[in-house]
């Protein structure tokens, strides 16, 4: 008889954004005339940069001729892309990685979710609370946690609260942990860690022989100087950190799918026989076994963001979203709502008025002013009493949403 992976039954019924989609669809069915503005899931609305489109068209034409056709590519990504990434995103900081330390993929959600497969099942996991649900859910699926408890925490996981009280900077754990998920700029809070804060984590990881799984999907949105653009700016990080990056939020690839992961060869873990093994080798084994490479057309498009035109176009789109972030932040302030983030990230994390439970605030916004956001509680127990709005909407919708919120009775 086939049995199931019972760990899946520990999870709440549906993934956060699927649940939001379900509720919005039900509302829309009951109120077909409702003019809904979606500032929930962090999905981009602006088109791909023209440089990417042009490169992708060219790639399509190459595939149309036998002489330039390409089938399977290198699972780890074409060198035209990996070299451009290293040259533009790491070398300016004096960081030099080999092209065998970078793995191109179909997006960092997959990588953040799959990376735990190359860690031992008894490894202790630490996550911030609130957190992007993928880190936790995939560890639950793998069996690295106990059951979900009444307080909303999974047994066996170390939660690191990030709230306004600690300025959204997690404290080091009191106990030993092996895998630490950090996201900076943070999804969902839109806040960041300074060099000094991040250094504390790298030092902790070195002392505890732990690995930091660093999600830098929103790095392109950083505006302030004291925020590391990559964890490898921190001394010692190449021995203890794996970094995930994405073209989704950087250049509009949410639907096109492209991301990458850096695994320096110095990041190692202990094997059962006591020897040290580098995670790079294991990930390479996994990647080549389970993945056949990101589409050539998509990689050509991604590489185009590093051309002069591509860089200028990406900068313009990011400025557009960050102006939305400013409008939302200031609009909330004018409405008397406390808000965080939105300076180095496309997310605004607001305190719900009168400490309203976040799912109640979700319903209120949806039903009273037809705006979809994301309830903080969906990101973890410490997200209760908070709510996330994304700056990825179109300008007109963002302005309309702000006006509606300002008029709302709170
Ligand atoms: C979010 O809204 O948190 C993100 O869009 C989810 C993702 O990037 O997968």
C-alpha to C-alpha distance for 344 and 186, rounded to whole angstroms: 9
Tokens of 364: 């209120």
**Per-residue model confidence (pLDDT) at position 14:** 83
Please give the number of the atom of ligand 1 that sits closest to the Cα of 246: 8
Radius of gyration of the chain (CA): 21
Q: Write the class of the CATH domain 13-46+309-407.
A: alpha beta
Cα dihedral 163, 164, 170, 173 in deg (nearest 10): -60
Ligand 1 center to 40 CA (angstroms) = 9
Ligand 1 center to 138 CA (angstroms) = 15
pTM for the whole structure: 0.97
pLDDT average per 10 residues of sequence, the chain (410 residues): 97 88 96 96 96 98 98 98 98 98 98 98 98 97 97 97 97 97 98 98 98 98 96 98 98 98 98 98 98 98 98 98 98 96 98 96 96 96 97 98 93
Calculate helix-pair angle for 308-334, 50-63, nearest 10 degrees: 130
36: helix, coil or strand?
A: coil
Ligand 1 center to 132 CA (angstroms) = 8
Ligand 1 center to 41 CA (angstroms) = 6
The finding on whether 109 has its CB within 6 A of some atom of ligand 1 is yes
Q: Which fold has domain 54-306?
A: 3.40.640
336: helix, coil or strand?
A: coil
Tokens of 244: 């995930």
Ligand 1 center to 133 CA (angstroms) = 9
227: left (phi over 0), alpha (psi -120 to 50) or beta: beta
Tokens of 405: 């919120």
Calculate helix-pair angle for 358-369, 395-407, nearest 10 degrees: 100
Please give the number of the atom of ligand 1 that sits closest to the Cα of 132: 3
**Per-residue model confidence (pLDDT) at position 15:** 84
160: helix, coil or strand?
A: strand
Please give the number of the atom of ligand 1 that sits closest to the Cα of 187: 3
Give the residue whose CA is nearest to atom 3 of ligand 1: 42
C-alpha to C-alpha distance for 125 and 7, rounded to whole angstroms: 16
Cβ 278 vs Cβ 266: under 8 Å: yes
Give the residue whose CA is nearest to atom 5 of ligand 1: 42
The finding on whether 42 has its CB within 6 A of some atom of ligand 1 is yes
Query: Other C-beta atoms within 10 Å of 28: how many?
Result: 14
Ligand 1 center to 68 CA (angstroms) = 36
Give the residue whose CA is nearest to atom 6 of ligand 1: 42
The finding on whether 187 has its CB within 6 A of some atom of ligand 1 is yes
Ligand 1 center to 17 CA (angstroms) = 8
Q: Got the DSSP string for 195-250?
A: HHHHHHHHHHHHHHT-EEEEE-TTGGG--STTS-SSGGGSTTHHHHEEEEEESHHH
Domain ranges for the chain: 13-46+309-407, 54-306
């Amino acid at each position: 008889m086939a049995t199931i992976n019972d760990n899946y039954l520990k999870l709440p019924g549906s993934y956060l954004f699927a649940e939001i989609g379900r509720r919005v669809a039900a509302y829309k069915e009951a109120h077909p005339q409702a003019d809904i503005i979606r500032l929930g899931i962090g999905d981009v609305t602006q088109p791909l940069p023209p440089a990417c489109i042009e490169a992708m068209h060219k790639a399509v034409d190459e595939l149309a001729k036998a002489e330039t056709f390409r089938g399977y590519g290198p699972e780890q990504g074409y060198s035209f892309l990996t070299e451009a990434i290293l040259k533009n995103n790491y070398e300016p900081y004096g960081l030099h990685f080999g092209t065998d330390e970078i793995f191109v993929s179909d997006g960092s959600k997959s990588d953040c979710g799959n990376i735990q497969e190359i860690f031992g099942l008894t490894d202790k996991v630490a996550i911030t609370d609130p957190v992007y649900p993928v880190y936790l859910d995939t560890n639950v699926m793998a069996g690295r946690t106990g059951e979900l408890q009444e307080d909303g925490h999974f047994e066996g996981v170390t939660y690191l609260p990030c709230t306004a009280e600690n300025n959204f900077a997690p404290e080091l754990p009191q106990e030993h942990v092996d895998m630490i998920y950090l996201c900076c700029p943070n999804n969902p809070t839109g806040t960041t860690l300074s060099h000094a804060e991040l250094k504390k984590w790298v030092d902790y990881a070195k002392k505890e022989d732990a690995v930091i799984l660093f999600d830098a999907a929103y790095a392109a949105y950083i505006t302030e100087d004291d925020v590391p653009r990559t964890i490898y700016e921190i001394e010692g990080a190449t021995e203890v950190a794996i970094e995930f990056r994405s073209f989704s939020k950087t250049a509009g690839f949410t639907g096109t799918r492209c991301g990458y992961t850096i695994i320096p060869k110095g990041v190692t873990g202990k094997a059962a026989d006591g020897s040290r093994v580098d995670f790079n080798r294991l990930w390479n084994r996994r990647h080549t076994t389970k993945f056949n490479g990101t589409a050539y057309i998509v990689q050509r498009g991604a590489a185009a963001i590093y051309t002069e035109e591509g860089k200028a176009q990406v900068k313009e789109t990011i400025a557009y979203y960050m102006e939305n972030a400013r409008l939302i932040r200031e609009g909330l302030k004018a409405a008397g709502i406390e808000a965080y983030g939105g300076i180095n990230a496309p997310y605004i994390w607001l305190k719900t008025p009168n400490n309203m439970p976040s799912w109640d605030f979700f319903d209120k916004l949806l039903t009273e002013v037809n705006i979809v956001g994301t309830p903080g509680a969906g990101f973890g127990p410490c997200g209760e009493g908070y709510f996330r709005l994304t700056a990825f909407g179109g300008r007109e919708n963002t302005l309309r949403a702000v006006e509606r919120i300002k008029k709302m009775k709170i």
